[in-house]
Amino acid sequence: MKHVYDPKDFLINIICNNTFDIIAFSETWLISSKYDLSDFVLDMYNFHTSSRNSRIDAGVAVNVNDDFNQKVVCNISKIIENCMETIFYRNCS
């Protein structure tokens, strides 16, 4: 079945016309050696990504609204090779 809309345009429209606390994507394929990760940072959001270097078909990316009082919990946000990527946040309110 062919899409009636362009998924990228649809997503951009949703993000530009709404305010979210957190926008998360899985299976991002974002490897810093292949992409300029600054292209994925949204205005008024903090950008975090986690990708395995051993696979290009994995990864997570998260944009957290600047107004959302949070921090990444580094000691448990990890890449587990051949398994998964994780990013954990703590609400600082």
Q: Which pLDDT tens digit goes with each residue over 30-85? A: 766 677 777 777 888 888 887 776 666 677 888 888 888 877 777 666 666 667 77
Q: CA 47 from chain center: how many Å?
A: 7
* Total of domains in the chain: 1
* pTM of this prediction exceeds 0.85: no
Confidence at 1, pLDDT banded by 50, 70, 90: very low
Q: Is residue 8 part of a domain?
A: no
Q: Is residue 14 part of a domain?
A: no
Q: Is residue 73 part of a domain?
A: yes
Q: Is residue 25 part of a domain?
A: yes
Q: Is residue 77 part of a domain?
A: yes
Q: Is residue 53 part of a domain?
A: yes
Instruction: State which residues form the domain around 64.
Output: 21-91
